[in-house]
């Protein structure tokens, strides 16, 4: 699940992300559109739901751009959050990387591995796990 504003921000920052991953922006856009988005539910949370969990508000105070993702993650916790940003999302219990389908190359050939982090219902409970799911392209 992804908040619409996070998806919009991803589109805006796509060239930067492609550079970080060392792939052409067009390839990353195709992968997101063809291989990833069909498996992601994009939602637009009303303000009352975004503000339902005080941990999301703490993330908002650290970085307003991270607020939509934090609100969804807080409402869904426990869940996995694709991020390397342990500083802003720490209040959600994000603290240690998680292996997502062992490598993102399992889902998107040619792309480097991707970090995920476990969002816990209780703060400061980061952890590690291996996430394999048919939804992520794994048997």
DSSP at 130: E
Taking the model in full, what pTM does it have?
A: 0.67
Cα 120 to Cα 19, 70, 74, 127, 137: the distances in Å are 31, 12, 8, 9, 24
* DSSP-based three-state secondary structure for 131: strand
Domain spans, the chain? 2-136
For residue 41, pLDDT over 80 is answered with yes
**pLDDT digits over 130-139, tens only?**
233 333 333 3
**pLDDT digits over 66-125, tens only?**
999 999 999 988 888 877 788 888 888 776 555 444 433 444 444 444 455 555 554 433
């Amino acid at each position: 699940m992804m908040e619409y504003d996070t998806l919009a921000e991803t589109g805006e920052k796509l060239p930067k992300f492609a550079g970080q991953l060392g792939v052409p922006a067009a390839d990353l856009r195709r992968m997101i559109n063809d291989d990833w988005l069909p498996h992601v539910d994009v939602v637009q949370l009303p303000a009352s739901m975004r503000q339902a969990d005080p941990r999301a508000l703490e993330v908002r105070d650290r970085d307003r751009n991270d607020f939509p993702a934090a609100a969804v993650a807080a409402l869904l916790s426990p869940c996995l959050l694709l991020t390397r940003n342990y500083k802003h999302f720490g209040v959600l219990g994000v603290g240690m990387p998680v292996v997502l389908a062992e490598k993102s190359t399992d889902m998107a050939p040619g792309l480097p591995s991707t970090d995920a982090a476990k969002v816990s219902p209780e703060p400061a409970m980061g952890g590690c796990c291996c996430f394999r799911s048919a939804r992520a392209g794994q048997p």
